[in-house]
């Protein structure tokens, strides 16, 4: 349908309002001359008042013979006739004293009082009448709200289409192929907003189909996981509304909904923690997503403890991959989830590529197949500006914990391969003393008042290792 140009409404507004009305309608100065005869008369009274005052001043000078008599006005006393004290003897009857000054007296006459009432009343009445005319016009326009709304919607759509066309032409965007098929395939896609803000962007491919519908994305913080996931949702949305895309090529299957669980936020007004909000949003996705949906899940489970978070993240990934089968981008720091790709059809691993050069780490922002092996959290902390002593201490602790984990994994806690020795190690430590006594002695060496939380974690890991090694050797000995 043709757009309603609203010419009648435009003409009415043009006829009533001045070209540059004041910001506040109640201040006046917004209605054109000729709209209201009464308003024009009130304005004439105010405009012509200065001429009348000049004539009055000349008239009174001639009548009284006071050459320096003058007419004035102030906000406190209004209009007045001012006479210097040296000429007070010439003041005629009918002059009523209004104000006394050091060198003069100020008077008013009945004629001047009538003029004052007329002018001041005209100013107030003029403002009230202007606002009345303005509200009348406003009601007339409001009565055409449906027409205005329809035209606004047409103009809004046209504005969006023109903006998308302009960006596509300037940035070299390509037309995607939109189909009813399941998959999404994007070649060298870019995030349009990040690219516009930074001036450059590393393009990445994306491929989701019926054989690989959940992409498990791992990698360090600040390496680009969230940007990649959001980029996918944004490009699918742009394609589905008819826009060209910042990509070399794209084939996009129509989706029924786009679900996102991104970022961390609480809802204190309702007493909801960050984790509770995260779980509520995830629950909504699991209840309403279908095989035709696109799901973006960013770091599910990070708002709680590591074990709980990992368990929740894995359970959500399993349901999405095996039951819902929605096209899903699932970013996570739980690298252990990468093994799901080995056991569950439809899950594939991808990671953000990182280059290590001695003590330096470079994020390449390139998505490649496979799972990440490190988080580089300490390096990112250094980039964020944490004090050097904190970064150094974190690096030392991390190295120590990794060594402990490796020793535990290799089974170096007294296992020798000899059944008799293994049996003996079930009750005794490496030093030949009973294992329980060794643990007790280590506990007695600890000073709780001078142990930092991080030191306590290291000690706890050490004691746990001793206990696990003792129990493992005991089982082997019993076999």
Supply the DSSP string of 258-271, one letter for each residue: EEEE-S---BGGGT
- Structure-block tokens of residue 296: 């973006």
Distance, CA of 434 to CA of 428 (rounded, Å)? 4
- Enumerate residues 6+ apart whose C-beta is below 8 A from 334: 301, 309, 310, 313, 314
Domains identified in the chain, total number: 3
- The better pLDDT of the pair 288, 304 is held by 288
DSSP class of residue 320 equals I
DSSP class of residue 252 equals E
Q: Residues 429, 372: one domain? A: no
Residue 148 lies in a domain: no
Q: What is the mean pLDDT of residues 184-211?
A: 94
Q: Residues 332, 357: one domain? A: yes
CB distance 299 to 331 below 8 Å: yes
Show which of 361, 383, 405 is a domain's final residue: 383
pLDDT tens digits, one per residue of 83-106:
999 999 999 999 999 999 999 999
Q: Residues 79, 129: one domain? A: yes
Give CA separation, 438 vs 230, 259, 399, 433, in Å: 53, 54, 25, 7
Taking the CB of residue 239, how many other CB atoms lie within 10 A of it?
Answer: 24
- The better pLDDT of the pair 245, 475 is held by 245
306 has pLDDT over 50:
yes
Q: Give alpha helix (H) positions in 217-271.
A: 225-240
Half-sphere exposure of 3 (CA within 13 A, CB side): 12
Q: What is the mean pLDDT of residues 415-424?
A: 40
CA end-to-end span of the chain: 86
Q: Residues 395, 450: one domain? A: yes
Distance, CA of 317 to CA of 321 (rounded, Å)? 6
122 has pLDDT over 90:
no
The pLDDT of residue 221 is 81
- Enumerate residues 6+ apart whose C-beta is below 8 A from 238: 164, 192, 244, 245
pLDDT, mean over the chain: 86
Q: Residues 205, 305: one domain? A: yes
Q: How many residues does the chain have?
A: 479
CATH number of the domain where residue 54 is located = 1.10.1420.10
Q: Residues 246, 376: one domain? A: yes
Report the percent of the chain where pLDDT is more than 90: 57
Show which of 335, 360, 383 is a domain's final residue: 383
Q: Residues 206, 332: one domain? A: yes
Q: Residues 310, 355: one domain? A: yes
Give the domain extent around 291.
Answer: 175-383
421 has pLDDT over 70:
no
- The better pLDDT of the pair 212, 400 is held by 212
Q: In this structure, which long-range contacts are made by residues 149-157, counting pairs with CB atoms below 8 Å and at least 24 apart in sequence?
A: 150/4, 151/3, 151/4, 151/5, 151/6, 154/3, 155/3
DSSP class of residue 244 equals -
The pLDDT of residue 413 is 47
Q: Residues 23, 138: one domain? A: yes
Give the global pTM: 0.65
């Amino acid at each position: 349908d043709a757009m309603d140009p609203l010419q009648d409404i435009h003409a009415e507004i043009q006829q009533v309002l001045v070209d540059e009305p004041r910001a506040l309608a109640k201040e006046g100065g917004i209605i054109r001359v000729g709209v209201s005869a009464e308003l024009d008369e009130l304005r004439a009274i105010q405009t012509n008042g200065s001429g009348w005052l000049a004539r009055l001043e000349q008239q009174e000078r001639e009548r009284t013979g006071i050459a320096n008599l003058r007419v004035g006005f102030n906000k406190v006393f209004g209009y007045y006739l001012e006479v210097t004290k040296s000429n007070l003897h010439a003041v005629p009857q009918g002059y009523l004293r209004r104000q006394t000054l050091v060198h003069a007296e100020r008077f008013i006459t009945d004629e001047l009082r009538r003029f004052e009432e007329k002018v001041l009343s005209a100013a107030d009445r003029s403002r009230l009448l202007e606002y009345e005319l303005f509200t009348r016009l406003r009601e007339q326009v409001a009565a055409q709200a449906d027409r205005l709304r329809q035209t606004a919607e047409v103009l809004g759509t046209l504005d969006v289409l023109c903006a998308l066309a302009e960006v596509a032409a300037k940035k070299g965007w390509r037309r995607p192929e939109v189909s009813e098929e399941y998959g999404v395939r994007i070649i060298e896609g870019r995030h349009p907003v990040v690219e516009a803000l930074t001036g450059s962007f590393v393009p990445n491919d994306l491929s989701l189909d019926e054989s690989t519908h959940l992409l498990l994305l791992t990698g360090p913080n600040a390496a680009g996981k969230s940007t990649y996931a959001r980029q996918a949702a944004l490009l699918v949305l742009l394609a589905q509304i008819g826009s060209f895309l910042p990509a070399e090529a794209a084939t996009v299957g129509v989706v029924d909904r786009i679900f996102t669980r991104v970022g961390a936020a609480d809802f204190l007004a309702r007493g909801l923690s960050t984790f509770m909000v995260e779980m509520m949003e995830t629950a909504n996705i699991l209840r309403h997503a279908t095989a035709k949906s696109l799901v973006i899940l960013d770091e599910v489970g990070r708002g709680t403890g590591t074990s709980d978070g990992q368990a929740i993240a894995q359970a959500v990934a399993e349901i999405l991959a095996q039951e819902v089968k929605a096209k899903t981008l699932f970013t996570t720091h739980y690298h252990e989830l990468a093994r799901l790709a080995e056991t569950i059809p439809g899950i594939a691993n991808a990671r953000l590529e990182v280059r290590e050069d001695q003590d330096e780490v470079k994020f390449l922002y390139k998505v490649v197949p496979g799972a990440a092996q490190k988080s580089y959290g300490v390096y990112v902390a250094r980039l964020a500006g944490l004090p050097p002593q904190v970064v150094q201490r974190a690096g030392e602790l991390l190295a120590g914990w990794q060594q402990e984990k490796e020793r535990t994994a290799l089974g170096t806690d007294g296992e020798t391969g000899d059944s008799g020795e293994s049996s003996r190690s079930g009750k005794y430590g490496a030093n030949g003393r009973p294992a329980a006594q060794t643990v007790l002695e280590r506990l007695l060496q600890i000073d709780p008042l001078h142990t930092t939380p991080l030191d306590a974690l290291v000690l706890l890991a050490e004691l746990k290792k001793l206990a696990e090694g003792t129990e493992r050797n005991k089982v082997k000995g019993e076999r």
